Amino acid sequence: MNINDIRTKYLEFYKTRGHAIVPSASLIPQNDPTTLFTGSGMQPMIPYLLGEKHPLGTRIADSQRSFRESDIEEVGDNRHTTFFEMLGNWSLGDYFKKEQITWMFEFLTKELSIDPQNLYVTVFSGDPSIGVSQDDESIGLWSDLYKTVGIDAKFVSIGSEADGYRVGMQGGRIFAYDVKKNWWSRAGVPANMPVGEPGGPDSEMFYDFGTAHDPKYGPECHPNCDCGRFMEIGNNVFMEFIKRDTGFERLAQQNVDFGGGLERIAAAAQNNPDVFVAVDALQEIVQLLEHFSGKAYNDSRYQRSFRIVADHMRAVTMMLADGVRFSNSEQGYVLRRLLRRAAQHAQRLEVEQGQGAESILNRCAILIIEKYKGAYPELAGESTFEQITGEIWKEELQFGRTLENGMKELEKIILSGSVSAQDAYTLFTTYGFPFEMTSEIARERSIAVDEEGFKTEMKKHQDLSRAGSEQKFKGGLADHSEQTTRLHTAHHLLLKALQTVLGPEVHQRGSNITSERLRIDFSFARKMTKEEIADVERIVNERIAEALPVVRSTLPKEDAEMLGAEHEFGAKYPDMVSVYSIGPVGATLESPEFTAAYSIEFCGGPHVANTEELNGTFKIQKEEAVASGIRRIKAVLQ
């Protein structure tokens, strides 16, 4: 089975069990400024896990495109990728542990024909400090299911991951771990969870590839061992708690939140631990690179480079399709970093480069488009194809100039007889010259490079960036605070005012809303004039003063589109959508007068009930360019 087969089987499996299939959200999070990218399938589901009613009911399933920047440096082994698809299903106060565990066992062993002898599971061991006991219910459910296939599933209580290397397998099949391994929330362990954050115990599923344990990781092997024998392929989260000032309380509804990496499930289904072989889309890029380089993937000298190019170009293609553009900040910076690392490793493979749409990186992108356009139709349009290949080639040319300038600087440094940590850091941060290239060239010239010092400098840089991000995202929309909610409604007013002043071609290309300020990225080709900025401010403040009602309604997507509801570029929406309209006076929840509304947008909320609740003067603090054809406004309510 290829990835399209597995994705289809999964969605059909849950559709026949009453689940509404929703499209993947964008890689760029909406209404969640706490992260640059959608990193899991549950991010868009938070409001519904907390009790808000989903337009499509209480059973939902999807395949969510996801990206994790933290894994960039990990790519190169046989299982890490930055971009991945997360198969997900949710019960929003509907079914719970019995149905989920039973269905998941059935899907893996019957639909995908995975040998149950190779499946191992973990559960939560309990934690008295938060008042949550061991998950005996899940232990019993797994034990009974294993019996149906003739397996006597022994239970082993391990404790911490470190304990696992001491305790070992002991012939077990079901293993209990502590909160660091079998408790799930976006913030991690309970102690790190902010007030208002949902979470709960989970039950993870592992596939055993049967490889020998590597004792360098510890004396004994266990499911969470890093030696490569086991691969986690899915996580059943039983999200039934919420953190309060006084401790943990049960949510009003018990939720199931399942996430399973499509690529890892494919590896298990084929009994091949190398996702770059098991996933046909990645394998085809590897084969393309083999053809144009004359080198073999199985040659250990080059395997890491094959994997980096394949992974990074898949991620680059997906980001470009969602509207991210190369820049020196935020999502655009990550996109640029991925493309340049891919270009660097393609050079290391000595691939025939090609020109324009025929460049090797564009050939990789075209393969990805062809492989995924059936599942994600937004990749299929001719204009999208031209945009993706055009942006990639333009960035390749710019990177070529960057390397030329960096090489000139490196030649000057080499004359001194060594490359200091600061030299390497400056080459990387100022000239965009990859450290791996600095190291390789210096080694060829028998010149020493302070690699450890460079790592120290980079760690300082990353720590500063992280601290800045934490401050920047403090009090983000994810917490639904009052001030953030007010700014979210002001954001809707701002977008409509921009369209009024600048023209209907203006559309949102990103947003970031904290309790301190709002930020919108929008499509527009030039700098706004002072007069245009003043007009936008005036319009927003007039709408605030008019005390317009803000009304939420659920209606068919086609009806919302016919009414002209604004929606996010590149985003896919389910058949039933949540729409917020602002105005006119007199509109109510029972009879929203959409056609006369000032603003209509696809949106999940939250918002104030009336614009008079904004209770302040809207003021634009900054208007600037962030990418070609994209402007950014930061604004506040004073």
Condensed to tens digits (0 to 9), the pLDDT of residues 8-34 reads 999 999 999 999 999 888 888 776 666
Q: Which residue has the higher pLDDT, 440 or 504?
A: 504
Give the H or E element holding residue 512.
Answer: strand 508-513
Count of the separate structural domains present in the chain = 3
Q: Give me the helices (H) in 327-480, please.
A: 330-348, 360-372, 382-414, 421-431, 435-444, 451-472
Nearest CA to 603 out of 52, 62, 15 is that of: 52
Mean pLDDT of the chain: 89
Among the ranges given (26-40, 238-252, 278-292, 547-561), the one the predictor scored with the smallest mean pLDDT: 26-40
Q: Indicate left, alpha or beta for 135 from its phi (over 0: left) and psi (-120 to 50: alpha).
A: beta
Question: Using 50, 70 and 90 to split pLDDT, how confident is the model at 303?
Answer: very high
Q: Is the pLDDT of residue 599 over 70?
A: yes
Residue 409 and residue 315 in one domain? yes
In a domain, 297, yes or no: no
pTM listed for this prediction: 0.74
Same domain? 354 vs 428: yes
Residues 456-466 have a mean pLDDT of 71
Residues 451 and 491 in one domain: no
Residues 6+ apart with CB under 8 A from 447: 414, 417, 418, 419
- Please check whether residue 428 lies inside any domain of the structure: yes
Residue 472 banded pLDDT, cuts 50, 70, 90: very low
Same-domain pairing of 436 and 493: no
* Last-in-domain residue among 447, 472, 497: 472
User: Does residue 291 belong to any structural domain of this protein?
Assistant: no
**Residues facing 231 on adjacent strands:** 207
587 pLDDT tier (thresholds 50, 70, 90)? low
Closest by Cα among 391, 389, 295 to 345: 295
pLDDT tens-digit map of 121-161: 999 999 999 999 999 999 999 999 999 999 999 999 999 99
Q: Among residues 472, 501, 522, which one ends one of the domains?
A: 472
Residues 189 and 68 in one domain: yes
Choose one of 451, 472, 493: the last residue of a domain: 472
Give per-residue pLDDT as tens, 188-226.
Answer: 899 888 888 889 999 999 999 999 999 999 999 999 999
Using the predicted structure, report yes or no on whether residue 471 has a pLDDT greater than 60. Answer: no
Residues 47 and 189 in one domain: yes
Q: Is residue 298 part of a domain?
A: no
CATH at 96: 3.30.930.10
Q: Do residue 493 and residue 604 come from a single domain?
A: yes
Residue 57 lies in a domain: yes
> In the structure encoding, which two tokens stand for residue 409, read together?
């600087």
pLDDT of residue 463 exceeding 70, the answer is no
The identity of residue 220, as a single letter, is E
Domain contains 164: yes
573 located within any domain: yes
Residue 588 pLDDT > 60:
no
Residues spanned by the domain of 603: 477-637
In a shared domain, residues 317 and 418: yes
> Which amino acid is it at 259?
G
Residues 482 and 465 grouped into a single domain: no
How much is the pLDDT for 468? 47
112 and 26, same structural domain?
yes
In a domain, 285, yes or no: no
Looking up residue 594, the CATH number of its domain turns out to be: 3.30.980.10
Residue 374 has pLDDT above 50, yes or no: yes
Rounded distance, CA 635 to CA 619, Å? 6
pLDDT at position 95? 96
Q: pLDDT exceeding 70 applies to what percent of the chain?
A: 93
| Strand duo 418-419 + 247-261: pairing | unpaired
Q: Looking at the structure, do residues 401 and 542 belong to the same domain, yes or no?
A: no
Whether residue 316 sits in one domain with residue 357: yes
